[in-house]
């Protein structure tokens, strides 16, 4: 698992195999790759299959065919979150020992905690179960398996992001105490990501700006667990001309479609995507290596969305 970066920049692709890879994933992989390649670093691959019900083996095998076709490079072993229960469990015990977590009996509140909370899916927890008396807590524990939440402090978390401005967040305002372990004992996305990024020596996290508000949660967990911080780079989301997000959830254009139903090569695909996103000035095929020499990622700065058309 450990692959030392020898002070190199190390990034990661972190797909969740709950649907087919789509253009939005490809864009995020591309910028992650360019961010590290342009600094002489390397990429790693982590499959975020925490939620075994939603992440099906057939989707993982399609994903590997897509990754191969896209010709994305990575180093070291592939990490599967589904095999990392012990590492998450150790981190959880450390939080428990520090009296930072408490059981929460609120129903359905933790349903989505294993997936990354993309914008619009967030709930600000009012702290109901944090205020329970000890006797009520003990009584409830005999009736129901709880989820566990981490107590968040009333301070502001600030960081400088490669692409976005104004990155200052109060956890009380964006989410309140958040779930670190679900009632079905599946560890939450936030905890798993922090534990894995540290174990994989990740130094740069490049992902969609809909996950910007996860960064302060992850920074807080890093601090509680004594783990190193990372550099964040939250990139604009890819939308179509109607402003509709290209997302695997709405069954949008999958990489499998480009790979199997068109005669496009991956260099043609990358060339079109890079041109559509304004990373290059000419519409022509580019390998990823070529793009690392010519693509200008600074045009993504301060953007929350990018409209693409040619590739569609
Ligand atoms: N697995 C997440 C997703 O596919 C990405 C999480 C991350 O980059 O931190 O949305």
Query: Each residue of 93-132: pLDDT tens digit?
Result: 999 999 999 999 998 655 566 677 766 667 789 899 999 9
93 or 4: which carries more pLDDT confidence?
A: 93
Is 241 in a helix, a strand, or coil?
coil
- The rounded mean pLDDT for the chain is 92
Ligand 1 centre distance from Cα of residue 216 (Å): 15
| CB-CB neighbours of 93 under 10 Å | 11
Mutation to probe ligand 1, out of 12, 15, 195, 218 (largest number of atoms < 8 A from CB): 15
Give residue 183's pLDDT: 93
Q: What percent of the chain has pLDDT over 90?
A: 81
Q: Is the dihedral of CA 177, 85, 7, 297 positive or negative?
A: negative
Ligand 1 centre distance from Cα of residue 29 (Å): 11
CB 16 within 8 A of CB 115: yes
pLDDT at 284 over 60: yes
Half-sphere exposure of 177 (CA within 13 A, CB side): 19
Ligand 1 centre distance from Cα of residue 133 (Å): 36
Give residue 113's pLDDT: 65
Residue 40 Rama label (left phi>0; alpha psi -120 to 50; beta):
left
CB 38 within 8 A of CB 72: no
Is 29 in a helix, a strand, or coil?
helix
211-215 long-range contacts, CB within 8 A, separation 24+: 211/116, 211/117, 211/118, 212/161, 212/164, 212/167, 213/117, 213/119, 213/122, 213/169, 213/174, 213/175, 214/116, 214/117, 214/189, 214/190, 215/157, 215/159, 215/161, 215/167, 215/169
Give residue 242's pLDDT: 81
Ligand 1 centre distance from Cα of residue 168 (Å): 21
221 or 108: which carries more pLDDT confidence?
A: 221
Give residue 245's pLDDT: 79
- Give the residue among 250, 222, 289 at the shortest CA–CA distance from 73: 289
Given the CA of residue 205, which atom of ligand 1 is nearest to it?
A: 8
43 or 260: which carries more pLDDT confidence?
A: 43
- Which residue is associated with the tokens 């969609």? 208
Give residue 253's pLDDT: 83
Does the Cβ of 16 fall within 6 Å of ligand 1? Answer: yes
| CB-CB neighbours of 55 under 10 Å | 23
| CB-CB neighbours of 71 under 10 Å | 14
pLDDT at 2 over 80: no
Ligand 1 centre distance from Cα of residue 215 (Å): 12
Give residue 309's pLDDT: 79
What are the φ and ψ backbone dihedral angles of 80, each rounded to 5 degrees? -110, 125
158 or 257: which carries more pLDDT confidence?
A: 158
Q: How far apart are the C-alpha atoms of 165 and 159, rounded to whole Å?
A: 9
User: Can you give the pTM of this predicted structure?
Assistant: 0.93
pLDDT at 83 over 60: yes
CB 27 within 8 A of CB 237: no
- Diameter of the chain measured on Cα atoms: 68
Does the Cβ of 216 fall within 6 Å of ligand 1? Answer: no
Taking CA atoms only, the protein residue closest to ligand 1 atom 5 is 14
Q: CB-based contacts of 279: which residues, under 8 Å, 6+ apart? A: 34, 291, 295, 296, 297, 299
């Amino acid at each position: 698992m450990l692959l030392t970066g020898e002070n190199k920049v190390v990034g990661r692709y972190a797909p969740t195999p709950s649907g087919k890879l789509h253009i939005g994933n490809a864009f995020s992989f591309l910028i992650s790759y360019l961010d590290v390649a342009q600094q002489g670093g390397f990429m790693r691959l982590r499959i975020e299959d925490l939620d075994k019900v939603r992440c099906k083996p057939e989707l993982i095998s399609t994903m590997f065919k897509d990754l191969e076709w896209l010709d994305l490079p990575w180093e070291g072993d592939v990490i599967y979150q589904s095999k990392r229960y012990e590492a998450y469990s150790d981190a959880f015990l450390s939080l428990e020992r520090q009296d930072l977590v408490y059981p929460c009996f609120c129903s359905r509140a933790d349903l989505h905690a294993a997936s990354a909370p993309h914008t619009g899916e967030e709930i600000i927890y009012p702290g109901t179960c944090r205020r329970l008396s000890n006797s009520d807590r003990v009584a409830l524990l005999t009736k129901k398996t709880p989820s566990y939440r981490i107590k968040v402090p009333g301070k502001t978390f600030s960081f400088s992001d490669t692409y976005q401005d104004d990155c200052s967040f109060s956890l009380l305002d964006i989410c309140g105490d958040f779930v670190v372990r679900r009632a079905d004992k599946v560890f939450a996305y936030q905890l798993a990501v922090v534990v894995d990024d540290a174990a994989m020596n990740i130094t740069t996290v490049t992902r969609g700006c809909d996950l910007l508000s996860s960064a302060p949660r992850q920074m807080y967990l890093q601090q509680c667990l004594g783990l190193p911080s990372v550099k964040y780079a939250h990139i604009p989301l890819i939308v179509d001309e109607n402003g509709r997000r290209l997302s695997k959830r709405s069954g949008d254009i999958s990489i499998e479609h480009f790979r199997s139903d068109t005669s496009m090569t991956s260099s043609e695909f990358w060339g079109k995507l890079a041109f559509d996103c304004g990373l290059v000035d000419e519409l022509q095929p580019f390998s990823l290596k070529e793009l690392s020499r010519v693509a200008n990622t600074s045009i993504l700065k301060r953007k929350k969305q990018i409209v693409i058309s040619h590739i569609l």
